[in-house]
Structure formats: structure tokens, C-alpha cells
Amino acid sequence: MRIALFATCIVDAMYPGTARATVSILERLGHEVIFPAGQACCGQMHVNSGYFKEALPVVANHVKAFEADEYDVAVAPSGSCVASVKHQHPMIARRCGDTGLEARAAAVGHKTYELSQLLVDVLGVTDAAAQLGSYFPHRITYHPSCHGMRLLRLGDRQLGLLRSVGGIELAELPEAEQCCGFGGTFSMKNADVSSAMLADKTANICGTGADLCAGGDASCLLHIGGGLSRQGSGVTTMHFAEILASTLENPATVTGDVHLTTGRTAR
């Protein structure tokens, strides 16, 4: 399959390892990955902040970039950005009176998948250790980001993939479904409430005794990780794609306090 990678702006600029891990996983499965060069951002920061006029060129750019190449499906390592591409892009085009763009945006959205959706529903990955050679000998916990959970209904796709990684130990996160408090510009406009939500999330994470918290959205991980760092915690965050990409030969690097599990479950 020819797969177009939508890296998303935050991964592109701040977490390139997440995109490289995504490429690695897909190539290991024998697929061809392309990176449409015109891509930049889904625009949800603008949309969610009410700046629809400013969002329009961002949306139009995304649609153009993902029309420029031939491919079977597009994929992004982010539930939130995929939800934006699928749901917000046609809405913004409609609101700004561009019905042509609305139809084109809907067509691009239709072909776009979140990474775990693509892996599980389209590519049939159910056992990461067996199918991808994934090996990650750490105790982790997992935060399901709101947009993946509620807008895309990802269910336990990400968690199921993580569970099937060799050597991994998964600690259940209490109140996992509670928002981490990020919410884009909410974290600045309502910094006090956002910080109170974050404090509860990080307390729950630290209570699990995990080395790191995995998730599927770089922005939430930036938020949670930023809070843990400020609190001086040794616990870090990592995108699930990087855990899936990790192998015995090429293990992912974990920053922070690292404890290896015994690797009992390694295959």
C-alpha cells in the first residue's frame, strides 16, 4: 500500500521521533510511505480558538497538499489532528462559504486514518511483538486522549497494540478517561483550571509506579510531560508509535528514571 504520512505540525517540529517511528512501523509491514511536502498543520488550534478566518488558509493548504500525491490512505500519529481533518475541515470550508473546498476536504478526510485505526482496522495488526517485532521492557501506563476516544471512537486499539508489545508491563491508569487539561489555548486562557486538571492526571500517573506514560497525541503528551518535568518527577511520556517501533536490536531510548522489566513476557 502507498501511505501518505501526515506528520502533524507538533510532531514535525517537536517530536520528529514519533513520525520516524510511524514510518518505520509501516515500512516494516512492507508498505511504501510518502511525505507530501506541502503539508503543515490541521488548523485545529485556530478552529478551536474561534479564529475561523485564519484557519481557512491552513485547512486549504492541508487539502491541497494531500491532493497533490497519489496514495491509498493517509495516516497521522494523532487522534486529535485526524478528527480535525475529518470533522472540522469541511465545517470551516462551509462556514467560510467555500463549497468546493468543503467537498474536497471531505474527500481527503475520508482517506485519512489515525495510526492505530490504520494498523488495526486496515492492516490487521493485532500482535505487535509477532508482526512488528516490538520489544519494550518497561513498566508503562497509558492515557487515552479525549479526541481519539470520543471523536474517533478508537476504543482500546492503542492499548491493545501496546499490550501486545514484547517485554512490556502495563499498569492501569486510574480515571484514565479524564481529560489531562490541555485543550489547546484553554491551557493558557484558563491556566488555573487546566493546571488543576493536570495535577490530578499526573498524580494518577505517578501513583501507578510506571516509568512512563504512553499516549497517542503528542500535544497531550507535551502537556503531561511538561507537568511531570515541572514537578521534578522522573516519569516521562512517549508516543505509542515509538514503543511499537522499538525492538530488541534497536530499543527506544527512555529519558527520566528508567527501570527495565524482567522481560519475562518477551517473545
Partner 1 sequence: MSGTFLGMPSLPVFGIGNLHEHEPFPKAAHRELGNTQLRANLGHATRTIRNKRLAVVSELPDWEELREAGRAIKESVMARLPELLEQFEANFTARGGTIHWARDAGEANRIVAALIRDQGADEVVKVKSMATQEIGLNEYLEEQGIAAFETDLAELIVQLDHDKPSHILVPAIHKNRSQVRDIFLREIEGVDPDLTDEPARLAAAARAHLRRKFLSAKVAVSGANFALADSGTLAVVESEGNGRMCLTLPETLITVMGVEKLLPAWEDLEVFMQLLPRSSTGERMNPYTSLWTGVTPDDGPQNVHLVLLDNGRSAALADEMGRSALHCIRCSACMNVCPVYERTGGHAYGSTYPGPIGAILSPLLTGITAEENNSLPYASSLCGACYDACPVKINIPDILVHLRGEDVDSKRGKGGKRGRERLPSQMDLGMKAASWALSSGKNLGLVEKGLPLGRLAAGPDRKITKLPGIAAGWTQSRDIPAPPAQSFRQWWDKEHQAQAAPTAPTGTEAAGTGDAGTGSAGTEENP
Q: What is the DSSP letter of 14?
A: H
Residue 147 C-beta: closest distance to partner 1, Å: 7
Exactly one of 131, 187, 208, 219 binds partner 1 (CB under 8 A); that residue is 187
- Nearest C-alpha neighbor of 240 from the set 165, 179, 167: 165
- Region for 162 from its dihedrals, namely left if φ exceeds 0, alpha if ψ lies in -120 to 50, beta otherwise: alpha
DSSP run (H or E) holding 238: strand 236-239
Return the residue of 73, 139, 186, 261 that touches partner 1, per CB under 8 A: 186
Binding residue (CB under 8 A) for partner 1 from 1, 61, 176, 206? 61
Among 3, 58, 105, 235, binds partner 1 (CB under 8 A): 58
Minimum gap (Å) between residue 49 Cβ and partner 1: 6
Scan residues 13-42 and list those touching partner 1 (CB under 8 A): 13-21, 23-25, 27-28, 33, 35-41
Q: Which of residues 143-182 bind partner 1 (CB under 8 A)?
A: 146-147, 150-151, 177-179, 181-182
User: 197-209: buried (b, 16+ CB within 10 Å) or exposed (e) per residue?
Assistant: bbeebbebbbebe
Binding mask 193-212 for partner 1 (x = CB under 8 A): xxxxxxx-------------
Query: At closest approach, how far in Å is the CB of 243 from partner 1?
Result: 9
- Closer residue to partner 1 in complex, CB, 13/130: 13
CB-CB neighbours of 76 under 10 Å = 25
| Counts for the chain of helices (H) and strands (E), in that order | 15, 8
Mutual orientation of helices 218-230 and 191-207 as an angle, nearest 10°?
80
Q: What is the three-class DSSP state of 141?
A: strand
Looking at the DSSP bridge assignments, the partners of residue 73 are 3
| 94 counts as binding partner 1 under rule CB under 8 A | no
How far is 144 from 18, CA to CA, in rounded Å? Answer: 17
Among 2, 126, 174, 188, binds partner 1 (CB under 8 A): 188
- Count the residues of the shown chain that bind partner 1, applying the rule CB under 8 A: 90
